[in-house]
Structure formats: C-alpha cells, structure tokens
Amino acid sequence: MENTEYMNRLAPVADNMPNTEPDRQRAYMALLKKYFSELSIKLGRPLTMCTVTFGCQMNARDSEKLSGILKEIGFISTESENADFVIYNTCTVRENANNKVYGHLGVLGNYKKKNPNMMIALCGCMMQEPQVVEKLKESYRFIDIIFGTHNLYKLAELIYNRIETENMVVEVLKDSTEIVEELPVDRKYPFKSGVNIMFGCNNFCSYCIVPYVRGREKSRTPEDIICEIEKLAADGVKEVMLLGQNVNSYGKNLANPVSFAELLKMVEKVEGIERIRFMTSHPKDLSEELIEVMAHSKKICRHFHLPLQSGSDKLLKVMNRHYTKERYLELVDKLKSAMPDISLTTDIIVGFPGETEEDFEETLDVVRKAGFDSAYTFIYSKRTGTPAAVMDNQVDEVVVKNRFDRLLAVVNEISHKLSFRFEGKDMEVLVEGPDDHDDRLLTGRMGNNMLVHFPGDRSLIGQIVNVHLDESKGFYYMGTMI
C-alpha cells in the first residue's frame, strides 16, 4: 500500500526521535503533518476530524488537547462523525455513560467501510478497564487506536505507530507520575477555558470508579498553572475554570506544598482574567481559608458546587465520604453567611446499597435545608471493581426509581422558588453566544452560573456586560442590557 511505503521511508527518522517530552511529540507531529498533507493533496480535499466527548469537564478539557494535536497535524474539525479521524473520549462513571459508547460504535464502523482512509480512536476513562479493551479488541476490529487517560499527550506517536504497523494500536497505562506540559490545545470557546490544576483522585468513595481509571492524585505546580492562565489571558480568555476531582486537596503533595486557597490568590492576580470558577470541591477538605479567600475575591464567582451524595450519616460512612449531615449543613451555613448571594449546587446519588426509606428522608431533609439552586441527581450505578459493587444489600430498582422521582420533584420545586431571588437585580454577565431558539437574543452566564437571555448584538459575544434581570423563568432569566 502506498501509505505504508511512505511511512517506511520515514521510519528511520522515527528511530531518532527525542526521548524527552514534549519534544518527542512535537517531532511526531511534524512527521505526521507532512504525511497527512500529502494524503490531503492526493485526495484533493482537506482532512476532517471529529472529537466526541462523554463525561465530565476533565474529559472536555482533555478533548481540547486531543483536537489541538489533530489540528496541528493538519485536520480541520467538523461536527459530523463521518470524518477522516474520529476520537471518542469516553466516560465510565455510570453504566449508561458506558453503554452510549457501544451504541455509537456500530455507526462508526459503517462510515469506515465507505472511507478506507478513516481512523477511529477510543480513549478516556472507559479504556482503563481491561474488560472493555478485551471486548473492543474482539468485537470491534475496525478501531485503529485505543489509549487511556495517562497517555493522551502521546496521540501523535500512537497515530504514527498505527500507520507504521497496520495493526490496532493499544496502549493503556495503569498510572503515571508524569505531567506533560506545553502541547497544542484547540479551545472550544475563545473567551473561557478549563485549566487542569490536578489529575486523579485519592479518595476512593466506595461507589466511584474515578480513582481506578484516573490514577493517584497529582498536582501541577502553581508556576505551570499561572503560566498557562497568563497565556490564556493574553489570548483573550476572561473566565477560567480550575479543574480537579477534589480541588480542596490541591497542592498537598507538591515538593513545596501550596493550598488551594493560596493558588486562588495567585490566579486572582493574573491581569485580564475577570472570572474564576472551580470544580469540584469535596466537603471533607473545604477549609475556612478557602471561604475567606472567596468572600474577599473580586473575581471568584459566587457559585459553589458541593457534592452531597447522601444526607444519611450511615450511608456517608459506607460511601467513605468522611463528613456527616451536620457537618455538611454547617459548611453550607458558613458559605452562605460569608457570601449571602452565593448559588449552591450539588450531586446526589439515590439507591446506594443499603439505602432505607429513613436514609432517603435524610437526603430530602438536607435538600430542603441547604436550598440548592440546582442538583445533579443520579441513580446509583454498580461499577465493577469498586467496594460498593460487591455489597449484598443492593436496593430494588422500582424502589430506587420511586425515590429518584420524589427527589427530583423536591429539588425542582426548591430551585424554582430560589430562582426568583435574583429577579429585578442587575448582574454582570459573560455573553456566551446567540440564543439557541431566538437569534435576536444573546445568552449570557452570570457569576452564579445561571443563564439569562436578552436582546443584543453578536459582537458582544465574549464580553462581560451588565444585564437587568426582568423575569425569572424558573431555570433561567429574561433580561435587558443596561
């Protein structure tokens, strides 16, 4: 095959690749750029790529890095999965996240039959599970590359290997201590960006698969983080979201330990950055220092996502969460007294093994007392390999569904009521884009993470403007620019 001949000609070059990162990947990118530009000329059209992201903000940020590498080697992005390079960046936090991927794969296989140049790569959390990779190797032979969460920076090298060997390339590492900086990133939004401050998780909540698929906690140095944020600011970014599974334990294992609150103070000083958000905070590590820094900050958004999971002390203990219902409510009080206008959101799991009606009532009680502006509610999903998966008191499906519906009703009622508290106020809004349903309107996000739709010109996209909130619609507002 012509392609192979070409790569064989390049093979000796690849033997002399630099051994240090990111130079090594840069060298592979340069090699592939030449290769794909010749392929593009031969085909008489540009080569397209599509990155499909499942799961959380961490995965969304990883996908921007993957797209950055593909763009660098000559692909242009498209929304269609009928593209020359398709990557599925997968999630496995719940069974349904997992099933979605298998559901899509058949369609990709059919596209590939019609486009022999197509390459399909699967990566992300699901690939860290050996049984998944086995299944893919057996039943989905058309996949070109499989890699995990620890080596996504190596995409260029893996593509090279795929072209070289003409076999499915599988490289999944159990864990890593290395953090590779300075690779290209293709941001989804010009005006806001996620910034990883740490990777992995050490908490081992008994239901959760994340520590197994993302590895142990590793913090980036404050210098690397600030340098990235300064570059983002220079590039027009106004809002950064600091990302980690438990940002409150940031920096504990660095050679020179730095607390999350201290990091926030450093980010605050970066000129050009007007808004700072973070995700996610574990209640067990939420410090007074953090509340204090937030309350005095002009840039940290008045929004706190504080996952509750359950209101039952008994279940919180079995979940390995290290806080009680009382402690959680105390933290909520502290946040609200320091910042009365703060908006509070949470995650709740229903149907954890052993959950009784009384346990569930405790959760409802916290929902009523805490006053969440919104809550992500999940039905407990058994994840192989986690301690909860082998607990013998799994809750009946019908009972769980009933509780889930009841919880949702209470959550919605409260968040609907709470949303009226901002009606009539003037708020700073970051204009994110045109309204999805009415193109005379713009959609903007307030610091408290709520959305407002208002008449305005598209030239304002990416700007921070003041908007009067005319009317609450329950989950969003209608407003007028002032």
Residues that bind ligand SAH (CB under 6 A): 93-94, 207-208, 210, 245-246, 280, 282, 307, 309, 347, 349, 378, 380-381, 383
Sole binder of ligand SF4 in the list 211, 354, 371, 462 (CB under 6 A): 211
Determine the Cα–Cα distance for residues 123 and 158; give it in Å rounded to an integer: 12
| Residue 91, contacted partner among ligand SAH, ligand SF4, ligand F3S, none, CB below 5-8 A by kind | ligand F3S
Is residue 210 a contact point for ligand F3S (CB under 6 A)? yes
Report if residue 92 touches ligand SF4, rule: CB under 6 A. Answer: no
What b/e readout covers 381-405, taking b as 16+ CB neighbours within 10 angstroms? bebeebebeeeeebbeeeebeebbe
Q: How far is CA 200 from CA 203, 211, 389, in A?
A: 10, 6, 21
- Residue 211's binding partner among ligand SF4, ligand SAH, ligand F3S, none (Cβ under 5 to 8 angstroms by kind) is ligand SF4
- What span, in angstroms and rounded, lies between the C-alpha atoms of 250 and 396? 38
State which of residues 67, 203, 310, 443 lies at the interface with ligand SF4 (CB under 6 A): 203
Q: Using CB under 6 A as the criterion, what x/- string covers residues 282-311 for binding ligand SF4?
A: x-----------------------------
**In sequence order, what are the residues at sequence separation of 6 or more whose Cβ sits closer than 8 angstroms to the Cβ of residue 172?**
127, 128, 133, 146, 147, 148, 150, 151
Residue 89: CB minimum distance to ligand F3S, A: 8
Name the minimum Å distance from CB 144 to ligand SAH.
Answer: 29
The site partner of 383 among ligand F3S, ligand SAH, ligand SF4, none (C-beta below 5 to 8 Å per kind) is ligand SAH
Shortest Cβ 380–ligand SAH spacing (Å): 5
Q: Which residue is nearest to ligand F3S (CB)?
A: 55
| C-beta closer to ligand SF4: residue 314 or 322 | 322
| Residue 123 and residue 152 in contact, taking contact as beta carbons nearer than 8 Å | yes
Pairing of strands 192-196, 441-446: unpaired
**Cβ neighbours around 34 below 10 Å, total:** 13
Closest CA to 226 of 192, 195, 257: 195
Q: Which of 178, 204, 296, 426 binds ligand SF4 (CB under 6 A)?
A: 204
CB of 383 to ligand SAH, least distance (A): 5
Q: Does 55 bind ligand F3S (CB under 6 A)?
A: yes
Choose between 325 and 383: whose C-beta lies nearer to ligand SAH. 383
Tell me the window of 3-11, 133-141, 206-214, 440-448 that interacts with ligand SF4 (CB under 6 A). Answer: 206-214
The answer to whether residues 209 and 131 touch, using CB atoms and an 8 Å cutoff, is no
201 contributes a contact to ligand SF4 by CB under 6 A: yes
* Residue 59 binds ligand F3S (CB under 6 A): yes
Q: Are strands 426-434 and 192-196 parallel, antiparallel or unpaired?
A: unpaired
For the chain, the 3-state helix, strand and coil shares in percent, each to the nearest 5, are 45, 20, 35
Number of H helices, E strands in the chain: 14, 19
Question: Based on CB atoms, which residue is closest to ligand SF4, 7 or 125?
Answer: 125
The upper half-sphere exposure of residue 217, i.e. CA atoms within 13 Å in the direction of its Cβ, equals: 18
As a whole number of angstroms, the distance between CA 470 and CA 482 comes to 11
Q: Which stretch binds ligand F3S (CB under 6 A): 90-98, 112-120, 319-327, 366-374?
A: 90-98
> Which partner from the list ligand SAH, ligand F3S, ligand SF4, none does 218 bind, CB cut-off 5 to 8 Å by kind?
none
- Binding ligand SF4 (rule: CB under 6 A), the pick from 91, 126, 210, 375 is 210
Pairing outcome for strands 303-305 and 145-147:
unpaired
Contact 311, 364 (CB under 8 A): yes
Residues 119-148 that bind ligand F3S (CB under 6 A): 125
For residue 149, count other CB atoms closer than 10 A to its CB.
26
Alpha-carbon gap, residue 214 to 125, rounded angstroms: 7
- Interface with ligand SF4 by CB under 6 A: which residues? 201, 203-205, 208, 210-211, 245-246, 282
Binding residues vs ligand F3S (CB under 6 A): 55-56, 58-59, 91-93, 125, 210, 213-214
